[in-house]
Chain A
Amino acid sequence: MSQKESLFSPKIIKTFLGPLNQNNPIAVQVLGICSALAVTVQLKPALVMAISVIIVSSFANLIISLLRNTIPTNIRIIVQLVVIATLVIIVDQVLKAYVYDVSKKLSVFVGLIITNCIIMGRLEAFAMGNKPWVSFVDGFANGVGYGIILILVGFFRELFGSGKIMGISVIPEFFYQMGYENNGFMILPPMALITIGIIIWIHRSWNKTLIEK
Chain B
Amino acid sequence: MYSNRYIIIYSTILVIVVATLLTLVSIGLKPKQDYNRKVEKMQNVLASVHIETTPKNAQEYFNKYIIEQFVIDYKNVKQENFLAFEVNVEKESKLPAEKRKLPVFVHKTDDGQIKYIIPMYGKGLWGPIWGYISLNEDKNTIYGAFFDHKGETPGLGAEISTIEFQNQFKNKKLFDEKGNFVSVKTVKGGAIDVDAHAVDAISGGTITCNGLNKMMVDELKPYEMFLKSKN
A90 adjacent to B14 (CB under 8 Å): no
A82 adjacent to B18 (CB under 8 Å): yes
A107 adjacent to B151 (CB under 8 Å): yes
A75 adjacent to B29 (CB under 8 Å): no
In whole angstroms, what is the CA distance A101 to B36 when docked?
9
For residue B40, which residues in chain A have a CB less than 8 angstroms away from its CB? Answer: 100
> Are A86 and B2 CB-contacts (below 8 A) given A93-B25, A97-B33, A100-B40?
no
Kindly identify which residue among A74, A82, A90 contacts B15, using a CB–CB cutoff of 8 Å: A82
B7 adjacent to A74 (CB under 8 Å): yes
The smallest C-beta distance from A75 to any residue of chain B, in angstroms, reads 6
A90 adjacent to B22 (CB under 8 Å): yes
For residue A89, which residues in chain B have a CB less than 8 angstroms away from its CB? Answer: 22, 25
Kindly identify which residue among B11, B22, B32 contacts A98, using a CB–CB cutoff of 8 Å: B32
Name which residue of chain B comes closest to A98, CB basis.
B32
The proximity string for A residues 67-81 relative to B, scoring 1 for CB distances below 8 Å and 0 otherwise, is 000111111001100
> Are A78 and B11 CB-contacts (below 8 A) given A101-B55, A107-B151, A108-B151?
yes
In whole angstroms, what is the CA distance A67 to B29 when docked?
28
The proximity string for B residues 19-35 relative to A, scoring 1 for CB distances below 8 Å and 0 otherwise, is 00110011001001100
Q: Answer whether residue A188 sits at the interface, using C-beta atoms and an 8 A cutoff.
A: yes
For residue A79, which residues in chain B have a CB less than 8 angstroms away from its CB? Answer: 11, 14
Q: Answer whether residue A94 sits at the interface, using C-beta atoms and an 8 A cutoff.
A: yes
For residue A188, which residues in chain B have a CB less than 8 angstroms away from its CB? Answer: 154-155
> Are A93 and B26 CB-contacts (below 8 A) given A98-B32, A101-B55, A108-B151?
yes
Q: Answer whether residue A96 sits at the interface, using C-beta atoms and an 8 A cutoff.
A: yes
B32 adjacent to A86 (CB under 8 Å): no
For residue A78, which residues in chain B have a CB less than 8 angstroms away from its CB? Answer: 11
For residue A108, which residues in chain B have a CB less than 8 angstroms away from its CB? Answer: 151
> Are A93 and B29 CB-contacts (below 8 A) given A73-B2, A74-B2, A100-B36?
yes
- A: interface residue count bin: 20 to 34
Query: Count of B residues near A, CB < 8 Å?
Result: 23
Kindly identify which residue among B7, B55, B154, B155 contacts A72, using a CB–CB cutoff of 8 Å: B7
Q: Which of A114-161 contact B (CB under 8 A)?
A: none
For residue A94, which residues in chain B have a CB less than 8 angstroms away from its CB? Answer: 25, 29
A97 adjacent to B32 (CB under 8 Å): yes
In whole angstroms, what is the CA distance A78 to B15 when docked?
11
> Are A100 and B55 CB-contacts (below 8 A) given A72-B6, A86-B21?
yes
The smallest C-beta distance from A72 to any residue of chain B, in angstroms, reads 4
The smallest C-beta distance from B36 to any residue of chain A, in angstroms, reads 4
The smallest C-beta distance from A209 to any residue of chain B, in angstroms, reads 38
In whole angstroms, what is the CA distance A100 to B39 when docked?
10
A86 adjacent to B7 (CB under 8 Å): no
For residue B154, which residues in chain A have a CB less than 8 angstroms away from its CB? Answer: 188
In whole angstroms, what is the CA distance A75 to B21 when docked?
21
Name which residue of chain A comes closest to B155, CB basis.
A188
Q: Which of A50-90 contact B (CB under 8 A)?
A: 70-75, 78-79, 82, 86, 89-90
Name which residue of chain A comes closest to B19, CB basis.
A86
B26 adjacent to A75 (CB under 8 Å): no
Name which residue of chain B comes closest to A89, CB basis.
B22
A90 adjacent to B25 (CB under 8 Å): yes
B10 adjacent to A72 (CB under 8 Å): yes
Name which residue of chain A comes closest to B151, CB basis.
A107
In whole angstroms, what is the CA distance A82 to B150 when docked?
27
For residue A187, which residues in chain B have a CB less than 8 angstroms away from its CB? Answer: 155
A96 adjacent to B55 (CB under 8 Å): no
Known A78-B11, A90-B21, A107-B150; 10 more pairs at CB < 8 Å: A72-B2, A74-B2, A75-B11, A79-B14, A89-B22, A90-B22, A93-B25, A98-B32, A100-B33, A108-B151
